[in-house]
Structure 1
Amino acid sequence: MPFSSVRSALAVAASLVLAGVLASGCSEDPPVSAADDDAGTVSEVDSSAQAEAADETVDLPSEEDLQEYFDAAAGYDVAQLEEARALAEPGSIAEAYVGYLAASMTAYVDGGAPGLEGTTAEREGDGYEFCPDPTDDDTCLLFENIEGRDGKIVNFTINGESLDERLSVGSKKPARAGELGSARLLYAYQSVQSGALFVIAEVRSGQEPVTVASYEATYRSPKGRQSKATEFQGPSDLGADSTANISLAFPGAEPGGTATLKFFSDDFMTEKVVELKTR
């Protein structure tokens, strides 16, 4: 089932990485490293990490590379977003951001959504800005405080907000749904604009067709508040031995909780539940 409003959902998804005012000097940023213990868990950025050496070389990529990175973020093209990852430092917020956007847009494609019209990023002062809806200034995303190291993009803020506590990267371990299949958390991101929490996962079927009940997905916050996904993207039905991305949106949800997803057998006689920890 597609999002209720493709453009509004896209504007929220795009809000992850599109705000930037270029800063020439910066401190070392903590990496985003995937957790490797429990299935479906993700890491959080260690905001307390400090620069290892005061004289460490910290520099931004070329103007051409910066433009390419933010154009990719504004363009909603999966191939360009994947290419933009090479412009970011491995394990950084910047790499995770375009990875998140690529995974989100893949969910649109996998769900059969129509192509989404992208735009380009414009230089705004020392940074970059774009508006998913040119007629609505509230959708505009400003990237500022752009930090670099060794010619790679490391971190930035969006509309003045840090992404360190908003963006998590999933582990490579799948959460098993018995013989029906599995789900693997890719990213979890709390939108700067809407405050909605987006959970992006890769789902996989076993040897038989399954239904992935994204429309019944729920989320439990760290404080125990439960909510239901109000929007989702990606296919509900998977053929045997198939893979797809799904995107789940939980308005106002606090990061760091657990998303729950149901798998059903083709005849709906068997049900399995998986849990995806978002931190």
Structure 2
Amino acid sequence: MEISNFRKINKDRLAKFLEHLENKHLDKDEIFGKCLMILKTLLYTSSNFIPNSTLSTQSNIQELLYSIDFDAIDDDHMIKLKSILDQGADLDIYARYIESILNKNNKSLNSILMTVWTQLGSNVLQLPIIIHEKAIEVNPLIFEKTILSAISLWEINNLIDVCSKSPLVFQKCSSIFNELLIKLNFTNKFMEFLNYFVNTVSVRCKNNDIDIVNIYPNKCRSILTLRDIKNKNSTLVTEHHLNDEVKKLALAYPKESICLLSHFPDLFIPY
């Protein structure tokens, strides 16, 4: 039967039918298993979903995918659902799928999350900012993979665009770059990369009417504010005063101070 011949789904009847099929214990049959999975997915779609006979089968499949309530799906079916999504999901549908996995925050879904994230490749940088922020909070390793891939594939400009819109993403990137900087023993090449990164983020922030000071951690903002004031009027903030604040930061928060000094070399205190 063509998809266009389906009518509005009666979920109660469908649920009873599925229960009947599952009691047949035919789950070892691969084709039966796939059909059962598709039918079960219909339970999680909008009750108002009706296939449109004027659209192609592929378009109807995509409309079906858009109507899925991912948050209502159990973990086991979320894993199986990927094979259906691969038949016609676009980036928006994958974004909803990924966000739902992150919201569930279940370790059993980590593998499928990594699979989908890897499958999207550089397109993950086109996902909504909220997904990147949730990934950092729930599964930081997956976002670290994104950062390292962006560097190796030179997708850095797309990464910079995300950083300029989210303090959390920017700070996570800065933290990882800080670790790389130390491991690479402060090589000139990586310092040049950092300079490009910070300058470009600064430009993007200005274009979006965002003060770059506000995307840094709170403990760093006072120094950056004093630096701005000093650069505009050295009589209000002396170099001695600014140096004292940098020293305090270095003693209290060594990692943050290294990050700040690598981003703004003019803050470095010569001995």
**TM-score bracket, shorter-length normalisation:** under 0.3
> RCO higher in 1 or 2 (8 Å CA, sep ≥ 6)?
1
Question: Could you say which structure has the higher strand fraction?
Answer: 1
Question: Could you say which structure has the higher helix fraction?
Answer: 2
Query: Which of structures 1 and 2 has the bigger CA Rg?
Result: 2
Give me the TM-score of the superposition, normalised by structure 1. Answer: 0.24
